[in-house]
């Protein structure tokens, strides 16, 4: 697991090394503050982290870890469903890696010997439908789709209905990713949520927001807007390997008070890993502190 997290944080760790070429047993708070800001942790959060550290000017790894861990207290829970399928609605702006992430998620379920059916409910872009169809073929899972311009809620309903009939374990529904400040997008997403519940009471069981890791802390406002629309249940951070802004996950978790479910650390179908806060924090601290410091 560490190797995957390290791969995803490679550029962030490189930026830390430029500030701190040699690891230390204890770090000066001023230098730690510089590292945290460079990693794209919001400044007000950096101030808060420094405040909760011991009053001495230099601090040990254990003290830093204790404070950092407090920002990931939000549990990754799945609601119990009395019947299959477990329905997930995937939301995010265009370009965030939404469609690819859906495929990676389906691939994870397939490796766990669980069946999955995809729903191509981003009917506003023909390219989105074609991309999801292509991925469904690559990973050999079923897909429900229609022509561009058709009602996305109907696709969601048909996907769930088909999954019920076939006793499928998971349904993953793609949605349109136009700009989050458009009123029509908000209305559309709310309608899809209502129709999912009509197809299967309680669905969607999890609403997942995809955020582009290269946007860093600037993705927070985008996330808040989606959360206000339909109450997001969890987050997946994509393209973590393509940015030195690995610290932005602290700001996202703090601002939204939602669990980070997975992080994307590459382009391959296996490059989506379950987010483990301890591994994430330890990987960052390993680049700062000497091993003898525990």
Lowest mean pLDDT among 1-5, 109-113, 142-146, 254-258: 1-5
- pLDDT reported for residue 165: 97
Split at pLDDT 50, 70, 90, the class of 162 is very high
Rounded to 5 degrees, what angle do the CA atoms 112, 100, 103 make?
25
- pLDDT reported for residue 82: 63
pLDDT at 156 over 90: yes
The proportion of the chain whose per-residue pLDDT surpasses 70, expressed as a percent, equals 94
Q: Is 290 annotated as a binding residue?
A: no
| Contact status, residue 145 vs residue 155, Cβ threshold 8 Å | yes
**Dihedral (CA of 120, 123, 128, 133) sign:** positive
Q: Is 187 annotated as a binding residue?
A: no
- pLDDT reported for residue 265: 87
pLDDT at 95 over 70: yes
- pLDDT reported for residue 272: 94
Q: CA 287, CA 294: separation in Å to the nearest integer?
A: 13
- pLDDT reported for residue 8: 82
Say if strands 58-60 and 142-144 run parallel, antiparallel, or are unpaired: unpaired
Reading the block at residue 97, the tokens are 């890696």
Q: Is 238 annotated as a binding residue?
A: yes
Lowest mean pLDDT among 79-83, 90-94, 141-145, 172-176: 79-83
Average pLDDT in the chain: 90
Q: Is 90 annotated as a binding residue?
A: no
- pLDDT reported for residue 293: 43
Q: Is 191 annotated as a binding residue?
A: no
pLDDT in tens, 34-66: 999 999 898 999 999 999 999 999 999 999 999
Provide mean pLDDT across the span 80-103.
Answer: 88
Phi-psi region of 202 (alpha: psi -120 to 50; beta: other; left: phi over 0): left
Q: Is 30 annotated as a binding residue?
A: no
Q: Is 93 annotated as a binding residue?
A: yes
Q: Is 14 annotated as a binding residue?
A: no
Longest dimension (CA), the chain: 64
- pLDDT reported for residue 230: 93
pLDDT in tens, 221-280: 888 889 989 999 999 999 888 887 888 899 888 888 899 999 998 888 889 999 999 999
pLDDT at 1 over 60: no
Lowest mean pLDDT among 79-93, 154-168, 224-238: 79-93
- pLDDT reported for residue 77: 58
Q: Is 286 annotated as a binding residue?
A: no
Q: Is 177 annotated as a binding residue?
A: yes
Q: Is 97 annotated as a binding residue?
A: yes
Q: Is 292 annotated as a binding residue?
A: no
Reading the block at residue 9, the tokens are 């944080």
pLDDT at 122 over 70: yes
- What letter would DSSP give residue 57? S
pLDDT at 294 over 50: no
Q: Is 101 annotated as a binding residue?
A: no
Split at pLDDT 50, 70, 90, the class of 19 is very high
Q: Is 81 annotated as a binding residue?
A: no
Split at pLDDT 50, 70, 90, the class of 79 is low
Residue 275's nearest CA partner among 5, 86, 42 is 5
Q: How far is CA 272 from CA 100, 105, 265, 268, in A?
A: 10, 7, 6, 8
Q: Which long-range contacts (CB under 8 A, 24 or more apart) does 52-61 make?
A: 53/29, 57/28, 57/29, 58/26, 58/27, 58/28, 58/29, 59/26, 59/27, 59/29, 59/32, 60/25, 60/26, 60/289, 60/293, 61/285, 61/288, 61/289, 61/293, 61/294
Helix (H, G, I), strand (E, B) or coil at 120: strand
For residues 146-160, b (16+ Cβ closer than 10 Å) or e, as one string? Answer: beeeeebbebbbbbb
């Amino acid at each position: 697991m560490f190797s995957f997290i390290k791969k995803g944080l490679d550029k962030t760790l490189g930026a830390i090394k430029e500030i701190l070429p040699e690891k230390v047993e204890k770090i000066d708070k001023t230098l730690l503050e510089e590292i945290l800001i460079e990693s794209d942790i919001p400044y007000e959060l950096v101030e808060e982290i420094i405040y909760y550290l011991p009053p001495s000017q230099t601090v040990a790894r254990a003290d830093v870890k204790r404070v950092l861990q407090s920002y990931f207290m939000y549990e990754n829970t799945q609601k119990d469903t009395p019947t299959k399928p477990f329905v997930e609605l995937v939301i995010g702006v265009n370009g965030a890696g939404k469609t690819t992430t859906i495929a990676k998620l389906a691939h994870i379920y397939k490796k766990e010997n669980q069946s999955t059916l995809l729903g191509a409910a981003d009917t506003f872009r023909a390219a989105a439908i074609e991309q999801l169809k292509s991925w469904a073929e690559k990973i050999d899972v079923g897909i429900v789709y229609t022509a561009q311009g058709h009602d996305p809620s109907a696709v969601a309903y048909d996907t769930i209905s088909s999954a019920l009939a076939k006793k499928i374990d998971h349904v993953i529904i793609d949605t349109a990713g136009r700009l989050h400040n458009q009123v029509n997008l908000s209305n559309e997403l709310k309608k899809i949520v209502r129709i999912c519940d009509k197809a299967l009471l309680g669905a969607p069981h999890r609403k997942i927001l995809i955020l582009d890791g290269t946007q860093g802390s600037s993705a927070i406002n985008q996330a808040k807007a989606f959360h206000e629309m339909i109450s997001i249940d969890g987050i997946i951070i994509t393209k973590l390997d393509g940015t030195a802004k690995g610290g932005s996950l602290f700001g996202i978790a703090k601002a939204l008070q939602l669990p980070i479910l997975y992080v994307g650390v590459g382009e391959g179908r296996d490059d989506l890993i379950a987010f483990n806060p301890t591994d994430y924090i330890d990987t960052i601290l390993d680049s700062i502190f000497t091993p003898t410091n525990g």
